[in-house]
Amino acid sequence: MVWTRNPEKVEVKGEVIVVTTKPHTDLWQRTYYHFRNDNAPVLQMKTNERFFSFVVKTDFSQSHHRFDQCGIVMYLDSENWLKASVEYENEQFQHLGSVVTNGGYSDWATTAIPAEVKTMWYRFSRREDDYCIECSPDGVHFSQMRICHMHAGAGEIRFGIYACSPENSSFTALFSDMKITACAWHAHDGQQPD
């Protein structure tokens, strides 16, 4: 795994990666806010494999400031990437969500979850140039967050983990239980393609 931009601090403790974020780091492109943020550190590996799943557990119990976040990422370049995370909002709730950026425009899909949630598992699956993001509170039972197509995601890709603090904040995130498996996102068994 290789860093694209370094975090404030990183430690490897056995099978746990401990990342401390830098303030004012984020990934976002244009939509609604009309700004471009492209400075979040991401730790990724490369693959040409067209069918696989990547699983990781995140611990964000130290997040404390609006938009502090950590999760999974597939960062191809500044205008083509996706991410999923829990973003801190306040002491009552936070946002479980995902962002998909194609051709320099981001979208953001979220749902509010209780602020008491401090860990989340993610499963990122690839079927050629289509992708599925799932989450789980226990690493066993996963729920679909979204299915998306990546226009630049048909060949070699890079994927892994990220953590950032878009505002004037810093926190420490823990990543563990990483594994790559056979694709857990099965082929569609309903309507046939055109």
Question: What is the torsional sign of CA 12, 54, 45, 101?
Answer: negative
Looking at domain 2-181, its CATH architecture is: Sandwich (2.60)
Extract the tokens encoding 41.
Answer: 């550190």
Residue 69 backbone class (left: φ over 0; alpha: ψ -120 to 50; beta: rest): beta
- Quote the pTM value: 0.95
| 104, β-bridge pairs | none
List b or e across 101-128, with b for residues whose CB sees 16 or more CB atoms inside 10 angstroms.
bbeeebebeeeebeeeeebbbbbbbbbe
Contacts of 132 (CB under 8 A, 6+ apart): 123, 124, 125, 144, 146, 147, 185
> Tens-of-pLDDT digits for all 194 residues of the chain?
999 999 999 999 999 999 999 999 999 999 988 888 999 999 999 999 999 999 999 999 999 999 999 999 999 999 999 999 999 999 999 999 999 999 999 999 999 999 999 999 999 999 999 999 999 999 999 999 999 999 999 999 999 999 999 999 999 999 999 999 999 999 988 887 76
| Alpha carbons 152 and 131: distance in angstroms, whole number | 12
